[in-house]
Amino acid sequence: MTLKISRRRVLTAGMATFGSSLLAGCDRIYDGISPRPLLDFGQWMSLHAHRLLLAGQPLVREYALADISPQFPPNGTQMPDGIDYFEMMATGFERFRLTVDGMVKKPLSLSLAEIKMMPSRTQITQHSCDEGWTAIGQWTGVQLAHLLQMAQLAPEARYVVFHCLDELDGESYYESIDLFDAFHPQTILAYGMNGRTLPVEHGAPLRLRVERQIGYKNAKYVTRVEVVSSFERMGSGRGGFWPDRGYQWYAGL
Amino acid sequence: MRMALSEQSAAGDAGIAGTVRAVPARRELVYRHSVLVRITHWMNVLCLTLLLMSGLKLFNVHPALYWGNYGYVGAPTVFSIDGVLDRFTQEPVGLMRIGNRTIETTGYLGVTYDSEGYPRRGAFPQWATLGADLALARDWHFLAAWFFVINGAIYLLSGFIGGHFRRDLAPDREQLRPRHILRDIWDHVRLRRPRGEEAKRYNVLQKFAYLAVIFVLLPTILLAGLTMSPAVTAAFPFLFDLFGGRQSARTIHFIAANLLVLFVAVHVLEVLLSGAFNLMRSMITGRYAIRPERTP
């Protein structure tokens, strides 16, 4: 499995920075040195350490109904702009379709009703934001693995990108995970929350739950699941709305 | 602390007891800290500084602590630092809340003033933090954590194998006698420093403090930190039971960080009181000068 931060990239970048800082001398200290390669090295360490720890694909702890937190603060977009979303919402998302495409043998286009007919998984889990807060909610949805198996991945498939209906700062929200997380049993596209239909502020009609990563990876308002071999040509090439803005692509911590 | 070189260093004067009094007492230079202890010590200083500063930034992003599995804006807090506008004067006010108690901290916490005198909202002042935004603070915190863990593992391994813990940190039997401990406390109160043979080992309070930091406080802060990771807790769910939930772990992580700062403050104070030059030299070159016993 090719991971986003390749060993070679980190090592060569690290060497280059270290080397240039040695060669450049004092005059360039203030504009020439970036800690970025070193910080990327830290990310690389965490990703690989976690992959070792999680090699057996354990489930995250699931809670009882009584443990659900009284509130669940919605974060990011609370309601996507535009008449299209509003119309869809007003008609109970009857017109909504989820596309599964990209490097798959059988692209899918599914209505919400069709998705709800599929085998479902319900899980009560913790949602932890990178800001530091945690809430507990119950999610019901279809396992992403189920959709990916239906669509049949092409051999080059490496990442799953989630394109969303909402925009922040005038740009569409998107996120991506690799196949290691995509096929985890608790990785679901949820249409239900706390026993009810998924509320608009939490990403109706469909949101991602990727339980071994933190808040912003759990994309809301998912409309398209694109399977790719690389996300370098997407956005700023870092695999997600927040990663494009400097946040960690792998957010298991 | 290694005493191997003490005889060489002390050679020349008083090799035999008895001559000590005849010859005017001279300072004896002993080899106190191994290279490994010195390197890991300074590496630890660097890591903990980066961890503390980036950690303060992480706290600033959500300056409230909770107990249990969940916690968010609106849930009951056990601790928080806020910057608010006074309802009547419209002046910015910093407030620290511990349980039900509120303490005004304007100027220090919650609201601080920059060099031009403008108020700035934020739990901890900006000068104490590292990372321009949350993403960078996270990057620094986790990078420093890796180096802290690797450094700590090297230290622990060598401490057990090389005998540093057994030889230098484990209290000697007679140091554990209540009389000895009481006298040591009294010596600390009087700021009386050991001389001669007694200065060649750590005093018992010092040993307790180091052991508590190395084997209790630092492991606690590390494990509580790991409990905040959804990936690590997927592999080790018992961490939730150990700390009573993710938000409890965050609170314990914060308390442990404060205790660590307290330890460092006392540690540095002791260095300043007990001969800063000598102690700094011993942590850089390894050599430590023993003050001779007072002649009666």
Contact A151, B88 (CB under 8 A): no
Contact B246 A212 (CB under 8 A): no
Residue located via tokens 């980066």: B50
Instruction: Give the model's confidence band at A18: pLDDT under 50 very low, under 70 low, under 90 confident, else very high.
Output: very low
Look at A26-30, A96-100, B204-208, B237-241 and tell me which has the smallest mean pLDDT.
Answer: A26-30
Dihedral sign of CA atoms A114, A119, A122, A127 in order: negative
What stretch of H or E contains B110?
strand B110-113
Q: Quick one: B102 and B201 in the same domain?
A: no
Instruction: Give the model's confidence band at B10: pLDDT under 50 very low, under 70 low, under 90 confident, else very high.
Output: very low
Q: Where are the domains of chain A?
A: 7-53, 65-245
Q: What is the phi-psi region of residue A160: left when phi exceeds 0, alpha when psi lies from -120 to 50, beta otherwise?
A: beta
CA distance B117 to B128: 17
Confidence check: pLDDT of A181 > 90: yes
Q: Quick one: B141 and B234 in the same domain?
A: yes
- B70 closest CB neighbour out of A135, A211, A242: A135
Smallest CA–CA separation between A163 and chain B, in Å?
22
Contact B228 A128 (CB under 8 A): yes
- Strand A222-228 to strand A97-102: parallel, antiparallel, or no bridges (unpaired)? parallel
Q: Quick one: B195 and B261 in the same domain?
A: yes
Residue located via tokens 């090592």: A11
Domain region containing B277: 31-62+130-290
Confidence check: pLDDT of B144 > 90: yes
Number of domains composing chain B? 2
Contact B53, B130 (CB under 8 A): yes
Structure-block tokens of residue B140: 């620094």
B54 exposure class (CB count in 10 Å sphere: 0-12, 13-18, 19+) = buried
Report the residue of B59, B60, B138 to disrupt the A interface, i.e. the one with the largest count of A CBs within 10 Å: B138
Q: Quick one: B273 and B236 in the same domain?
A: yes
B21-64 pLDDT tens trace: 445 567 789 999 999 999 999 999 999 999 999 999 999 999 99
Q: Quick one: B117 and B264 in the same domain?
A: no
B17 falls within a domain: no
Give percent of chain B with pLDDT exceeding 90.
Answer: 82
Helix, strand, coil % over all residues of chain A, rounded to 5 = 30, 25, 40
B185-237 pLDDT tens trace: 999 999 888 888 888 999 999 999 999 999 999 999 999 999 999 999 999 99
What residues have CB less than 8 Å from B246, skipping those under 6 apart?
A126, A128, A134, B69, B70, B227, B228, B233, B240
Q: Does B254 touch chain A (CB under 8 A)?
A: no
E-assigned strand segments in chain A: 97-102, 108-111, 121-128, 134-143, 159-168, 171-178, 188-193, 196-197, 207-209, 222-228
- Residues counted in chain A: 253
Burial A224-252 (b: 16+ CB within 10 A, else e): bbbbbeebeebbeebbbbbbbebbbbbbb
Q: Does B70 touch chain A (CB under 8 A)?
A: yes
Q: Which amino acid is at A118?
A: M
Q: Does B59 touch chain A (CB under 8 A)?
A: yes
Which among B99, B122, B145 is the end of a domain? B122
- Write down the pLDDT at residue A33: 76
Among A116, A193, A192, CA closest to A147 = A116
Instruction: Give the model's confidence band at A248: pLDDT under 50 very low, under 70 low, under 90 confident, else very high.
Output: very high
Phi/psi for A30 (5° steps) reads -85, -20
- Write down the pLDDT at residue B7: 40
B103 falls within a domain: yes
Confidence check: pLDDT of B245 > 50: yes
Residue located via tokens 């945690």: A134
Q: Does A24 touch chain B (CB under 8 A)?
A: no
Confidence check: pLDDT of A24 > 70: no
B296 falls within a domain: no
Q: Quick one: B164 and B282 in the same domain?
A: yes
CA distance B216 to B232: 20
Q: Quick one: B135 and B275 in the same domain?
A: yes
B16 falls within a domain: no
CA distance B169 to B155: 13
- Write down the pLDDT at residue A79: 94
Cα–Cα separations (whole angstroms), residue B188 to B1, B140, B204, B214, B280: 21, 38, 11, 22, 20
Stretch A218-226: mean pLDDT: 97
Residues of chain A positioned with their CB less than 8 A from the CB of B73: 73, 133
B6 falls within a domain: no
Looking at chain B from residue 26 to 55, which residues have their Cβ under 8 Å from any Cβ of chain A? none
Judge if the upstream peptide bond of residue A37 is cis by omega within 30 degrees of 0.
Answer: no
- Write down the pLDDT at residue A8: 52
Name the CATH superfamily housing domain A65-245: Oxidoreductase, molybdopterin-binding domain (3.90.420.10)
Looking at chain B from residue 201 to 240, which residues have their Cβ under 8 Å from any Cβ of chain A? 228-237, 240
- Write down the pLDDT at residue B16: 41
Stretch B6-30: mean pLDDT: 52
- A253 closest CB neighbour out of B136, B142, B236: B142
CA distance B214 to B186: 25
User: What is the pTM assigned to this prediction?
Assistant: 0.89
B168-198 pLDDT tens trace: 999 999 999 999 999 999 999 998 888 888 8
A61-84 pLDDT tens trace: 999 999 999 999 999 999 999 999
Helix (H, G, I), strand (E, B) or coil at A162: strand
Contact A65, A82 (CB under 8 A): no
CATH of the domain at B255: 1.20.950.20
Contact B250 A211 (CB under 8 A): no
B19 falls within a domain: no
Q: Quick one: B112 and B246 in the same domain?
A: no
Stretch B96-115: mean pLDDT: 94
Q: Quick one: B153 and B94 in the same domain?
A: no
CA distance A246 to B268: 37
DSSP string over B164-228: HIIIIISPPGGGGSHHHHHHHHHHHHTTPPP-GGGGGS--HHHHHHHHHIIIIIHHHHHHHHHTT
Confidence check: pLDDT of B284 > 50: yes
What is the value of ipTM here, to two decimals? Answer: 0.87
Contact A136, A114 (CB under 8 A): no
Look at A102-116, A200-214, B7-21, B26-40 and tell me which has the smallest mean pLDDT.
Answer: B7-21
Stretch A8-23: mean pLDDT: 48
Looking at chain B from residue 110 to 139, which residues have their Cβ under 8 Å from any Cβ of chain A? 133-136, 138-139
Q: Does A126 touch chain B (CB under 8 A)?
A: yes
Q: Quick one: B113 and B243 in the same domain?
A: no
Specify the DSSP class assigned to residue B121.
Answer: E
Q: Quick one: B157 and B250 in the same domain?
A: yes
Q: Quick one: B136 and B101 in the same domain?
A: no
Report the residue of A61, A63, A123 to disrupt the B interface, i.e. the one with the largest count of B CBs within 10 Å: A61
> What mean pLDDT is reported for chain A?
90
Specify the DSSP class assigned to residue B12.
Answer: T
Give percent of chain B with pLDDT exceeding 70.
Answer: 91
> What mean pLDDT is reported for chain B?
91
- Write down the pLDDT at residue A32: 60
Give percent of chain A with pLDDT exceeding 90.
Answer: 85
B45 falls within a domain: yes
- B230 closest CB neighbour out of A42, A211, A247: A211
- Maximum separation of any 2 CA atoms in chain A, in Å: 66
Confidence check: pLDDT of A21 > 80: no
Confidence check: pLDDT of A2 > 50: no
B209 falls within a domain: yes
Contact A248 B138 (CB under 8 A): yes
For residue A108, the cross-strand partners are: A100
